[in-house]
Amino acid sequence: MEEAPEWVVTHADGRMSTRHQVMRDFESGGNRLLEGKINDVEVRVFENCVVVTGRTYARGEYKGRAYEVRLRFTDSFVRRSGEWQAVASHACRIPEG
């Protein structure tokens, strides 16, 4: 699975980023993921689309600032030419405690 060229992500703070922006941040070192875990994953298949929900723990640095987050996410995929491609992702913070 990979991100479609038109993939967008809505971050927990409400910002939106394109695939190009996200990849540029990782490739330039602007976003450095130091630790990541995914669990509580559920997959729902609907003909040529899939919705995946789950939880993420991530620790890293974004533009020199440390972060540590726990998120719930939803990823939407479509099947194109026999391949699954992510077209949209959304995350929200899980409150501490």
Instruction: Give the pLDDT confidence of 65-97 residue by residue, as tens digits.
Output: 999 999 999 999 999 988 999 999 999 999 876
Q: Which domain holds residue 55?
A: 2-93
Specify whether the CB–CB gap between 57 and 70 falls below 8 A.
yes
Band (53; pLDDT cuts 50, 70, 90): very high
Q: Angle at CA 96, nearest 5°, toward 90 and 97?
A: 135
Q: What pLDDT does 31 receive?
A: 87
Q: What pLDDT does 1 receive?
A: 67
**What are residue 82's phi and psi, to 5 degrees?**
80, 0
> How many structural domains are present in the chain?
1
Long-range contacts of residues 67-75, Cβ cutoff 8 Å, at least 24 apart:
69/12, 69/93, 70/94, 70/96, 71/12, 75/51
Q: What is the overall mean pLDDT for the chain? A: 93
Q: What pLDDT does 91 receive?
A: 96
CATH number of the domain that 61 lies in? 3.10.450.50
Specify whether the CB–CB gap between 50 and 72 falls below 8 A.
no
The encoded tokens of residue 79 equal 């099947």
